Structure 1
Amino acid sequence: MTYTTLITPTELRDLANPLILEASFDLADTDAGERAYTAGHIPGAHYLHLDRDLCGDKTGPDGTFRGRHPLPERSDFAALMRRLGLAAGRQVVAYDRQGGPYAAHLWWMLRWLGHAEVAVLDGAWDGELCTTVPAPTPTDWQPGPSLAGQIDAATLLKKLGQVRLIDARAAERFRGDVEPLDKAAGHIPGASNRFFKDNLAADGRFKPAAELRAEFAALLAPYPADQIVHQCGSGVTACHNLLAMAHAGLGEPLGGLLYPGSWSEWSADPARPIAKA
């Protein structure tokens, strides 16, 4: 069986030869995720660091700031996946210890490479842990057509008012009450707030698909799927909303488009409009 959105610990245990990737991270302590992995991780899991492995240059060729966590070159990320053993049809399972935002980002990135067989572990792992770092088996895998759409700042600026823009940050950051990370407080004009943690139930697992479908459908109406844009602070937690929508069966491609630069890129240019409250 193939999993393309979420997978339970029980389902993971039943898989044959999955590629397991841990993406745990802490913005306030960027080595915390790797320390946790070293102390004990799902057997067979490789660790990917957000800053080192999943990001590209923060400055573009023209000298402009691309955001705190810009996407790497697609070819570089594909090469990393080859080194770790990605192969056509091989099931990938991504997980983190923060409720899924970093794993969802990795899920989106693999879809971006054209690999459909990737799912996020739903809830905490309830099995044994190990400290052994697995030896990868490199492959000659090559990426295919992207299964995930994105939009850049210039295009989004032109489309303001014509798309449903969903901001995954906490409400106080969305309103502009506080801004601990980026150049200015507030949000992109016209955006609606959907804090990514609202996708989770009290037990830390994603809400049922029907519940997510109802919540997002109310937020998105009347915009069609090709007019939905997701963003957050730096293009990471927005992927949690994309995953939730995909799991709920909403939106193509993949629950809408991702604005990778997100608020960190947008707010760095004083010429771009900003809204508050």
Structure 2
Amino acid sequence: MKLPPIISAKEFQNLNREDLVIVDAGSGDSAYENYLKEHLEGALYVDLNKDLAEIPQHAKNGGRHPLPSLEKFAEVLYRLGIDENSHVIVYDDKNASNAAARFWWMLRSAGIEKIQVLNGGLQMAKEKGLSTNSEIIEAKKVEKISLKKWKLPKVDLDFIEKNSENAEFLVIDVREKDRYDGKSEPIDEIAGHIPGAINVTFKENLNEDGTFKNPEMLREKYVKLLKNIPSEKIAIHCGSGVTACHTLLALDYAGFEIPNLYVGSWSEWSRNDKEIATNI
């Protein structure tokens, strides 16, 4: 039986901890320092920039957070004590909108089925009384798994350029509206959006307390948006292929087939002399 991709703090408390690999997925300059100060009891650390991406010299080539090589990711999983049989719980401090969702997508794409994201992240876990400490534990000893390919669908810049304005396809940009509209751009060099892309921010997947909306609410929302377009003709993107995974996670939670991830996202598109649309 397939596990739901989201797990509540209460459900997490009732699990047998001996069977789990708990992962604190961090991003940002102070992420590891924050992990050392406090994390969920038994959690190991994984870093967005160092472990979940292969940061390029120029974001023109694949965006700001291209996927690492399969060999590198296999090493990361080995270090964390994760194999095909592991039950993994991952969280971050950004309501799963950042490294936790990216790690979920990468594990699923690597063939690890028992991967769940802690609903509401570290904040909600602490509110619900889950134990935290600063203890660093050793990972379980496992055999290193061999990864042959990313199993979940993804597309590249050429695919987006050919299809973004095709009525049979749907490109969803999950960034904040001001970035999409072209009014501001705090990270990349140019503001705006890919022509033909619609804006459905990842924050629309969440309740006010930072937890995911329930599957029924998400399904009702996305049934209207997706308009029976098949998943292979849908691509989700953000700034660099990270928060897009939050919407992919929400779609899986709502019972949809997981559509394509455009990993390069806006950070790649906007650096390659492609057409830029704005709403100014």
Question: Could you state the TM-score of these two structures normalised by the residue count of structure 2?
Answer: 0.90
- Work out the CA distance in 2 between the residues paired with 1:192 and 1:22: 32
Aligned residue pairs, count: 267
**Residue 179 of structure 1 aligns with which residue?**
185
When residues 145 and 57 of structure 1 are mapped into structure 2, their CA distance, relative to the original with a 3 A threshold, is closer
- For residues 143 and 19 of structure 1, the distance between their equivalents in structure 2, rounded to whole angstroms, comes to 19
Aligned positions of 1:1-40 closer than 5 A: 3-16=3-16, 17-25=19-27, 30-40=28-38
The residue aligned with 1:259 is 262
State the alpha-carbon separation in 2 of the partners of residues 238 and 224 from structure 1: 18
- Aligned-residue sequence identity (percent) comes to 37
**Counterpart amino acid of residue 8 in structure 1:** S
| 2:201 counterpart letter in structure 1 | F
**Cα 1:144–1:93 shift into 2, 3 Å:** farther
In the other structure, the counterpart of 2:131 is 128
Verify the 8 A CA contact 2:240 2:266 in the aligned structure 1: yes
Corresponding residue number in structure 1 for 2:44: 46
Alignment of 1:84-233 (within 5 A): 84-101=80-97, 102-123=99-120, 124-125=124-125, 126=128, 127-140=130-143, 141-143=145-147, 146-162=150-166, 163-233=169-239
In the TM superposition, residue 164 of structure 1 has moved relative to its aligned partner by 0.5
Contact 2:60 2:269 (8 Å CA) reproduced: no
2:72 is aligned to: 76
Q: Which amino acid aligns with 2:260?
A: L
Question: How far apart, in 2, do the equivalents of 1:64 and 1:212 lie?
Answer: 34
Q: Partners of 2:206 and 2:55 in 1: how far apart?
A: 32
- In 2, the alpha carbon distance for the partners of 1:50 and 1:257 equals 20
Report deviation, 1:2. 5.7
SS of the residue corresponding to residue 23 of structure 1 reads: strand
Q: CA deviation at 1:147?
A: 3.8
Point out the more displaced range, 217-226 or 171-180: 217-226
Task: Confirm or deny: 8 A CA contact 1:85 1:137 kept in the other structure.
Answer: yes
Q: Which has the higher strand share?
A: 2
CA distance in 2: counterparts of 1:185 and 1:274, whole angstroms: 8
Whole-angstrom CA distance in 1 between matches of 2:148 and 2:113: 10
SS at match of 1:185: coil
Report the Cα distance in structure 2 between the residues aligned to 1:204 and 1:181, rounded to whole angstroms. Answer: 23
Following TM superposition, the consecutive aligned residue runs of length 4 or more in structure 1 with deviations greater than 6 angstroms are none
Structure 1 runs not aligned, ≥5 long: none
Compute the displacement of 1:145 (Å). 5.9
Residue type at the aligned position of 1:148: L
Alpha-carbon distance between aligned partners in 1 of 2:227 and 2:57, rounded to the nearest angstrom: 36
Opposite residue 240 of structure 1, the aligned amino acid is H
Q: Secondary structure at the match of 1:93?
A: strand
Equivalent residue letter for 1:157:
E
Shift of 1:50: 1.1
SS of aligned partner of 1:120: strand
Which structure 2 residue ranges, 5 or more long, are not aligned? none
